[in-house]
Amino acid sequence: MAHADREVSLTATCKICGRPATRTQRLVEGRPAPRDSLWTLVCGSEAYDALSRRHRVAP
């Protein structure tokens, strides 16, 4: 980024509060994924929620 002409920051909308969401939360059966689950799951929006820093739950 030190040599970039411009920087574009993309965000989603937090599913809980509606503020800009810079984090995602992987879900398993609608709840935050436990620490011992797979690290990455490639699929659609049914497995991840966009959340703000305030609402993301660390496993």
The enclosing domain of 31 has a CATH number of 3.30.60.20
Structure tokens at 6: 């411009």
Q: Which two tokens stand for residue 11?
A: 């965000």
In a domain, 25, yes or no: yes
Residue 6: the pLDDT is 92
Q: How many domains does the chain fold into? A: 1
Say if 7 falls within a structural domain: no
Q: Report the pLDDT value the prediction gives residue 39, as an integer from 0 to 100.
A: 63
**26 in a domain, yes or no?**
yes
**Residue 5 covered by a domain:** no
Q: What is the mean pLDDT of the chain?
A: 81
Q: Are 34 and 56 in contact (CB under 8 A)?
A: no
What are the pLDDT digits (tens) for 32-55? Answer: 877 777 666 666 556 788 988 888
Q: Which domain holds residue 46?
A: 12-51
> Mean pLDDT, to the nearest integer, of 19-31?
85
Please indicate, yes or no, if residue 59 is contained in any of the structural domains: no
